[in-house]
């Protein structure tokens, strides 16, 4: 990544190849943590779902290296739990070599601003109980564990869109 700040923008259908390249660069563990399964490659159907979005009920932002247009550094998305719901599930992935350097927080902040404009009031993160880095990350962003949770060793964390 260059010294310049990454460009944060909405994902587009033209990002399919770049998203495939980002996914291929991720470690097995990062892919597993993102998809909660061993997902070695993205199918055409996956790429369509992940890039051809409506920008209202499904919002996704990418961090792009300004020195290398088309190189994705990370992706964050929010998918509403139902039409008109004020709650959306958040998912995030950052390239392994850039993890723990603040890009995730930049992406989450940008997503919060973006989904606030779409009427979303809370983001829900489903995090594997042994994923301590992600649990700390979301808690550091202000997320709190929800009552009941998802079960099966998965924590359900609620992250308010608007900061107090």
Q: Is 88 helix (H, G, I), strand (E, B) or coil?
A: strand
Counting Cβ atoms within 10 Å, is residue 89 exposed (0-12), middle (13-18) or buried (19+)? middle
Per-residue pLDDT of the chain (164 residues; tens, 9 = 90+): 445 789 999 999 999 999 999 999 998 888 888 887 777 889 999 999 999 999 999 999 999 999 998 899 999 999 998 878 999 999 999 999 999 999 999 999 999 999 999 999 999 999 988 889 999 999 999 999 986 555 568 889 999 998 66
Residue 11: enclosing H or E segment and its boundaries? none
Residue 72, token pair as written in the block: 């994705």
For residue 145, the cross-strand partners are: 157
Domain annotation for the chain: domains and CATH numbers = 7-160 (3.40.630.30)
Q: Phi/psi of residue 90, each to 5°?
A: -105, 140
CA 47 distance to own-chain centroid: 15
Q: Is the dihedral of CA 149, 138, 18, 36 positive or negative?
A: negative
d(CA 105, CA 118): 20
For residue 93, the cross-strand partners are: 75
């Amino acid at each position: 990544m260059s010294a310049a700040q990454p460009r944060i923008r909405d994902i587009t259908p033209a990002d399919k190849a770049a998203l495939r390249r980002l996914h291929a660069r991720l470690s097995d563990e990062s892919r597993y943590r993102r998809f909660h399964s061993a997902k070695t490659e993205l199918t055409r159907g996956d790429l369509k779902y992940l890039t051809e979005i409506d920008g209202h009920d499904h919002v996704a932002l990418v961090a792009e290296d300004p020195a290398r247009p088309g190189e994705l550094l990370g992706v964050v998305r929010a998918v509403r739990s139902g039409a008109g719901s004020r709650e959306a599930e958040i998912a995030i992935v950052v390239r392994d070599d850039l993890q723990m350097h603040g890009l995730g927080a930049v992406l989450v902040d940008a997503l919060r601003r973006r989904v606030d404009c779409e009427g979303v009031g809370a983001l829900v993160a489903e995090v594997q109980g042994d994923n301590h880095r992600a649990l700390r990350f979301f808690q550091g962003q202000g997320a709190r564990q929800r009552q009941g949770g998802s079960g099966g060793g998965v924590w359900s964390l609620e992250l308010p869109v608007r900061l107090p």
